[in-house]
Amino acid sequence: MQKNMKKRQKRTGLRGRSCFIGGIALLFLLSMGNPGMLFAQRKVTIKLASMVPESTPWGAALNRMSQEWARVSHGEVELRVYHNGVAGGEEDVLRKLRLNQIQGAVFTSAGLNLITPEIMTLSVPFFIRNDAELARVLRDIKPELEAKINEKGFFTLAWAKSGWVKIFSRKEVFIPQDLKQQKLATSPDTEEMSQVFKVMGYQMVPVTMNDLLVSLNSGMVDAVYQSPVLVGGMQFFGITKHMASINIAPFMGGIILNQRAWSRVPEAYKPALIEVSRRIAEDISDSITRLESDVVKTMTSYGLKINQISPEQEQMWYTDVERAMTTLLGTTFNRDLYQKINGILQQYRNGR
């Protein structure tokens, strides 16, 4: 009897192993028709922080990016977007990104500068002067900047152009001397920009964004350099009734992940996720350009005056900052990158 029981157990064990092996084979065959099935237990969740309000083009685009990531990854990669600065300021967000408390973030030029200082070279005042010049510079310089960011333990998903920084002032501004007679607010987070204006002889007053409206109302400051979209949203133009037509610097944004999170994303999905992110970044750039134009028109209808600067007056600003750069290169700004960008710009301006 014992021999018969052992034989039955042996046959049962063989059948069990055969069923297990058969089940694995069936799973493999089924997965051939649905590659995502192999990753069913590997769902990756990426929490992405953004300081931009959800109601803006940035916010809408990030929500759309979340939906498209889910689609192209068959639900295997979930992007959760935390809008409206709920994760903190850019320094806080960067710290959380390094600790993997969040896995991604949208950074401005100032935030990207915290990762690698070379980034602020793109924001040297009056250096890159229009959209065409910016597009040419980014085409040639982006791979180098992305490599520098990625060396620090991050992955650059996409860049987006977010308009131009302009001068808004209590009194009209056409030439540098007009602005030097007014107290100019500067953010404590953008020391490089502040240093350029100090070297050029401006009256700089450090003011946080939260205190800016109070400082304008009290007369502590007379002028700001900011995005027209932000000025319109915060309604600073009720006090700073003049906007100089000259572009100070491009306002850039970058979508960054930490390498720890990116390494967890299945390789099969990475190309599609990158393509989605970069396409949506282009949509953001286009939306911001239209929004900036609309905001300026709206502010003009409420009394904002555009100080239209002539080519001769523009050259005065360019000459002023070029003199300052002899002091700032190698200290405030990266000399090698500045010279590389300057070479690109000179070739472009000469039609080459």
- The predicted-structure confidence for 245-280, as pLDDT tens digits, reads as follows 999 999 888 999 999 999 999 999 999 999 999 999
Contacts of 78 (CB under 8 A, 6+ apart): 43, 44, 45, 46, 66, 69, 70
**Arithmetic mean of pLDDT, 117-141:** 93
Chain position carrying tokens 């405030």: 332
Tokens of 182: 């007014």
* pLDDT tens-digit map of 29-70: 334 444 444 444 478 999 999 988 888 888 999 999 999 999
Output the domain CATH number for residue 228.
3.40.190.170
User: Which of helix, strand or coil describes residue 244?
Assistant: strand
Where on the phi/psi map is residue 339: left (φ > 0), alpha (ψ -120 to 50), or beta? alpha
Domain presence at residue 54: yes
Q: Rounded distance, CA 97 to CA 50, Å?
A: 12
The residue ranking higher by pLDDT, 142 or 18, is: 142
Tokens of 272: 């599609």
Tokens of 149: 């960011």
Query: Smallest Cα–Cα separation from 172: which of 240, 225, 92?
Result: 240
Contact by Cβ (8 Å): 194, 141: no
Domain presence at residue 20: no
pTM of the model: 0.81
**Arithmetic mean of pLDDT, 199-223:** 93
Q: Evaluate if residue 214 carries a pLDDT over 50.
A: yes
The domain of 171 spans: 38-349
Q: Rounded distance, CA 82 to CA 76, Å?
A: 19
- Chain centroid offset of residue 12 CA: 62
Domain presence at residue 11: no
Domain presence at residue 28: no
Domain presence at residue 269: yes
Please, which pLDDT band fits residue 4 given cuts at 50, 70 and 90?
A: low
Domain presence at residue 233: yes
* pLDDT tens-digit map of 291-337: 899 999 999 999 999 999 999 999 999 999 999 998 999 888 999 99
User: Which of helix, strand or coil describes residue 284?
Assistant: helix
**Arithmetic mean of pLDDT, 146-159:** 94
Q: What percent of the chain has pLDDT over 90?
A: 68
Domain presence at residue 18: no
Domain presence at residue 33: no
Contacts of 318 (CB under 8 A, 6+ apart): 126
Q: Say which amino acid occupies 22.
A: G
Angle between helices 270-301 and 57-72 (to 10 degrees): 160
The structural domain count of the chain equals 1
